[in-house]
Chains A and B, each alone.
Chain A
Amino acid sequence: MNQDPLWTIFIGACLINNFVLAYFLGICPFLGVSGKIATASRMGAAVTFVMLVSSVCAFGIQILLTQIGAPYLKLISFIAVIASTVQLVEMFVKKMSPALFRALGIFLPLITTNCAILGLALFQTNKGYGIAQCLVYALGAGAGFTLALVLMAGLRERLELVRVPDVVQGTALTLMVAGILSVIFMGFAGLGG
């Protein structure tokens, strides 16, 4: 069993090993939904929720699979759980806020194929976290994802008003900005030991 203290796990997942900027997980929504701060923060909240639920489920599944001795089913059962959670969130958002549902568009069902979530489930089992550690890890990863998304959205809102050369516009520019953000996040290394 892993003995890392909870606050180290949180800081680690949120800042030092930020899922987007250090592990390259969840790049698609990072590039796709980071146009506006409002949409970005809600997307972050949705992803964090799915992360929390799937993290708990993955913890249960891992115990069950070890019991019946079928570790090769890990990947398939994780992805099935994540897909159903996303379906749940999708129905919830559609009912509660149709405007947000439209704003998120195709990226809402695509949370299923967001590698950040499957990555989280795999990492936590590799690290052998307990249930409390899993929850904090999911919370930290979600917070880190939201932070990266909102930072990026803020930068892109400003970039809208700036004149940039034609060739650089679009994804190339976003990637360059993401690179600089990633350099900045490297500064957090060593925080929390």
Chain B
Amino acid sequence: MTTAGSQSDPRTTDEFIKGLWRDNPVFVQVLGMCPVLAVTNTARNALAMGLATMFVLVMSNIVVSSIRNFIPKQVRIATFILVIATFVTIVDYVIQAISLDLHKALGAFISLIVVNCVILGRAEAFASKNKIVPSALDGLGMGLGFTFALLCLGVVRELLGSGAIFGVHVFPDRYQDWVIMILPSGGFFTLGAWLLVFNAIKKRKANAAGTAKEAA
């Protein structure tokens, strides 16, 4: 199980980039859907949630990676969860200290970062098998990818739902708000639409590669 340190250096940039686009946790791997849908009703909430998740992801990846050789295989999942829960508790208290409004808006979803499959998934699939630096970069990349996805949803939902981005109104006053975009169902529709866009891009790329092969 522990093929520790078999990663070579040139790949570290790749670890960072892959989370952003190719293996984007939300659009490609379809993981961690609950916060993606629940807290993206405004761009600000989406950004805050993304950053909080990124912090937990990076820190838990670092810790898991540094203790990977001491954890017995049978209890590894429980250990990972405990590490993650510790960092989430920290984030919970920090956000409460910085902005009480934000803490109220995100509600229980800060605590629920614990059960975000992306974090446990990266700990199990990457950090438990790799050195500290690649693990940290992997966490950073995946975290940025996650934040990017949250922002994609948050911006669209806020723009259509209340005609604003980050609280700044962009549409003229006579714009009729699409209230449904702020409501839960709007989350499902927006994410569905984004996945559609990503599917279409993937399909087009695959087709282009196919025709190129035929031509050659």
Of A24, A126, A176, the contact of B189 (CB 8 Å cutoff): A176
Contact B188 A172 (CB under 8 A): no
Residues 95-123 of B, flagged 1 when their CB comes within 8 A of A and 0 if not, give: 00000000000001001101111001000
Q: Which of A4-12, A58-66, A138-146, A179-187 lies at the binding interface?
A: A179-187
Q: Which residues of A contact B92 (CB under 8 A)?
A: 75
Looking at the assembled complex, report how far the CB atom of A161 sits from the nearest CB atom of chain B, in whole angstroms: 21
The verdict on B133 contacting chain A, using a C-beta distance below 8 Å, is no
Query: What's the minimum C-beta distance from B8 to chain A, rounded to whole angstroms?
Result: 31
Pairwise interchain contact A172-B199, C-beta atoms closer than 8 A? yes
- What are 9 inter-chain pairs, A to B, with CB distance below 8 A? A24-B187, A72-B93, A79-B82, A83-B81, A113-B120, A119-B108, A123-B108, A172-B195, A173-B192
Return the 4 tightest CB-CB contacts between A and B, nearest first: A179-B188, A175-B192, A182-B185, A24-B38
Q: Interface residues of B toward A: which range?
A: 35 or more
Contact check: which of A113, A122, A167 meets B108 at CB < 8 Å? A122
Interface of A is mostly: helix
Given A76-B82, A175-B191, A182-B184, 15 more A-B residue pairs with CB atoms under 8 Å apart are A21-B184, A21-B185, A24-B184, A27-B37, A28-B117, A114-B115, A115-B115, A123-B108, A167-B203, A172-B192, A172-B195, A172-B199, A175-B192, A176-B189, A182-B188
Check: B7 CB closer than 8 A to any chain A CB. no
- Check A88 for interface membership: any CB of B closer than 8 A: no
Residue B67 CB within 8 A of the other chain: no
Report if B88 contacts A (CB, 8 A).
Answer: yes
Chain A residues within 8 Å of B, Cβ to Cβ: 21-28, 31, 72, 75-76, 79-80, 83, 110, 112-115, 118-119, 122-123, 126, 166-168, 170-173, 175-176, 178-180, 182-183, 186
Majority secondary structure of chain B interface residues (helix, strand, loop or mixed): helix
Cβ-closest chain A residue relative to B84 = A79
Residues from chain A with Cβ under 8 Å of B203 in the complex? 166-167
CA distance A85 to B33 in the complex (A): 24
A149 to chain B, nearest CB (A): 15
Query: Which residue of the partner chain A has the closest CB to B40?
Result: A24
Question: Is the CB of B125 closer than 8 A to any CB of chain A?
Answer: no
Which residues of chain A come closer than 8 Å to B195, judged between CB atoms? 170-172, 175
B69 at the interface (CB under 8 A from A): no
Kindly identify which residue among A21, A110, A122 contacts B117, using a CB–CB cutoff of 8 Å.
A110
